[in-house]
Structure 1
Amino acid sequence: MYHTWMRFLTPSPVHHRLGLVCLGVGLQYGPLPTVGPRTLDSHVAVVISTGTGWYETPDGRRRTVTAPALLWLTPGVPHHYAPDPGAGWDEGFVGFTGPATATYTELGYIEPDRPVVALSDATGPRAVIARIARAARRDNPLLEVETGAAVHELLVALRRARADLAPDGDPVLKALARDAFKAMSVADHAARHGMTLAELRTAVRRGAGCSPKDYLLGIRLGRAKELLAATELPVASIARRVGYDDPAYFSRLFTRRVGMAPVRFRAQESRTVPGGWSNQVPDPDDPPRI
């Protein structure tokens, strides 16, 4: 005998405009029946926390599934899977859709070409699925928004739980973040790690979902914003502190990416207090306790 609980949701058009909505959630365990072959119109993340089974690809190849694992069921892609008929497995699933799925796919959080993903630990994703299940009660006035927001959390938890990624972050990304404020080109960073430019691009794209240039730029501009908001340092000095020897180039880059010039950002976001400002901004990795 197997046990199953599921709830299906029908978010309104206005909820779909939030970008991501939950269509259903379920918790099941035991020798569950075979699923498929079938094809869906939406995404489903199936998190298997205990047990083993199989997944068959559209070309007929069967792969062994061993918990903890994730099955990605993506729109338009046929799928066919089942737990072993003896003990079965323990699974939680969440169905979702929305325009944000395209961006999550581009960033590598959803992987249509990787239907079976080994997880290092299913605890984090299962906790989010349990939260979605609790929020999915029919008398919850925040039902669609709360479950939709939790789908974002689930995608992050699944990314963090992937067995092929270090739980504390990719070493290459950590090193790039550490050296982000040095006046180094992307080629310089690649050479520092003994990698070709192509290898560095692949590593950063896999870990952060963007190019090395965009990854470094995000860190640099984030720090520049902190210095603009919390100090009275000149823009030229801030530019040098975040890795740009040419203040004019830094200002053009800041304006293009942020949508306003550094001086305007400072005017809007300044947190300095007359007689009390300091250029000793706390390290973002070690924030003060308030």
Structure 2
Amino acid sequence: MYHTWMRFFTPSPLHRRLGLVCLGVGLQHGTLPTVGPRTLDHHVAVVISAGSGWYRFPDGRRTTVTAPALLWLTPGVPHHYAPDPGTGWDEGFVDFTGPVTATYTELGHIEPDRPVVPLADAGGPRSVIGRIARAARRGNPLLEVETSAAVHELLVALRRARADTNADGDLVLEALARDACRPLTVAEHAARHGMTPAELRTAVRRGAGCSPKDYLLGIRLGRAKELLAATELPVAAVARRVGYDDPAYFSRLFTRRVGTAPVRFRAQQGRTVPGGWSTRIPDAEHPPTIITGHV
């Protein structure tokens, strides 16, 4: 015995230009029938929040699936799976497609080579799937845009929910973020954590989907933008605060990555207010409280 609810959509060519669109959503539980063997031309994220079952790889190997878990069904890859007939399982699925999936795959959010992913908690992803299901009501004029935005959110939620996101890689990312603006090389960062540069690259790639250099640079440039927009510090002082002793090198790097020079960015984005923000350095970890009314 099983229960199933599902909706499928056909986004217009205009909506497909969003880069990532939802093709369907479903909520099912119980002793669901076996799926496959079959091959799809789009992606499906199957979130299993209760129960257990099995998944068979294209080479014939079979592995146990125990909730909470994620099944990645990727285009062109045969898949074959089912819940245990005695226990069944509780699943929510989302079908999606679009060129942006290639970028999410490169960042490690979608893992074609790991179709069965243990999750630490299915609550976050299931909450997003629930919102997609509610958006799927008939007559919703924002259906395609709303569900497209939710698929982005789902991919983030699935990344956060992975059982390995609390491994050492995340601790390394936190430490790198704290020390990002110190004038340290990638090798020096690795040594501080008792790692080789190759081990650090692996940990950062697994946790953030990019190299340590790009991860550190993103934090440094973000901080530099905050200082340029909210303070009157000279560009050379901003460079030093984000880890660059050579202001000319910092300006060239900022211009190349941001697309505009630091002084021009400040002119476009500057929000300095005499006696206010311009008198102190904004703290990203402790934003000010915005008072909307009087007590």
Q: What's the TM-score once normalised by structure 1's chain length? A: 0.98
CA contact (8 A) 1:233 1:279 kept: no
Correspondence for 1:150 = 150
Gaps of 5+ in 2: 291-295
Q: Map of 1:197-276 to 2, 5 A cutoff?
A: 197-276=197-276
- Paired with 1:277 and 1:151, the residues of 2 have a C-alpha distance of 37
- Paired with 2:167 and 2:222, the residues of 1 have a C-alpha distance of 24
Q: Secondary structure at the match of 2:166?
A: coil
Q: Secondary structure at the match of 1:264?
A: helix
Correspondence for 1:97 = 97
Q: Secondary structure at the match of 2:10?
A: coil
Correspondence for 2:41 = 41
CA drift of 1:184 comes to 0.6
1:178-236 deviation line (CA, Å, top 9, x unaligned):
11111111111011111111111110000000000000000000000000001110000
Aligned-pair RMSD on alpha carbons? 1.2
CA drift of 1:87 comes to 2.0
- Paired with 1:27 and 1:159, the residues of 2 have a C-alpha distance of 20
CA drift of 1:167 comes to 8.8
Q: Secondary structure at the match of 2:278?
A: coil
1:120-175 deviation line (CA, Å, top 9, x unaligned):
00000000000000001121000000001000000000000000111998000001
Give the AA of the match of 1:271: R
Correspondence for 1:7 = 7
Q: Secondary structure at the match of 1:93?
A: strand
CA contact (8 A) 2:40 2:77 kept: yes
Correspondence for 1:61 = 61
- Paired with 1:181 and 1:279, the residues of 2 have a C-alpha distance of 21
Correspondence for 2:122 = 122
CA contact (8 A) 1:6 1:27 kept: yes
CA contact (8 A) 1:160 1:167 kept: no
Gaps of 5+ in 1: none
Q: Which runs of 4+ in 1 moved over 3 A?
A: 274-277
- 1:137 and 2:137 aligned: yes
CA contact (8 A) 2:231 2:281 kept: yes
Give the AA of the match of 1:10: T
Farther off after superposition, 201-210 or 164-173 = 164-173
Cα–Cα, structure 1 residues 249 and 149, in superposed 2: closer, same or farther, change >3 Å? same
Give the AA of the match of 2:58: P
CA drift of 1:26 comes to 0.2
Give the AA of the match of 1:32: L
CA drift of 1:37 comes to 0.1
Q: Map of 1:176-187 to 2, 5 A cutoff?
A: 176-187=176-187
CA drift of 1:16 comes to 0.7
- Paired with 2:287 and 2:168, the residues of 1 have a C-alpha distance of 19
Q: Secondary structure at the match of 1:164?
A: helix
Farther off after superposition, 232-241 or 271-280 = 271-280
- Paired with 1:287 and 1:23, the residues of 2 have a C-alpha distance of 39
For these two proteins, the number of residue pairs brought into alignment is 290
- Paired with 2:73 and 2:35, the residues of 1 have a C-alpha distance of 11
CA drift of 1:36 comes to 0.2
CA drift of 1:274 comes to 3.9
Give the AA of the match of 2:97: T
Q: Percent identity?
A: 84
CA drift of 1:275 comes to 4.8
Give the AA of the match of 2:184: M
CA contact (8 A) 1:29 1:90 kept: yes
- Paired with 2:150 and 2:274, the residues of 1 have a C-alpha distance of 42
- Paired with 1:289 and 1:74, the residues of 2 have a C-alpha distance of 44
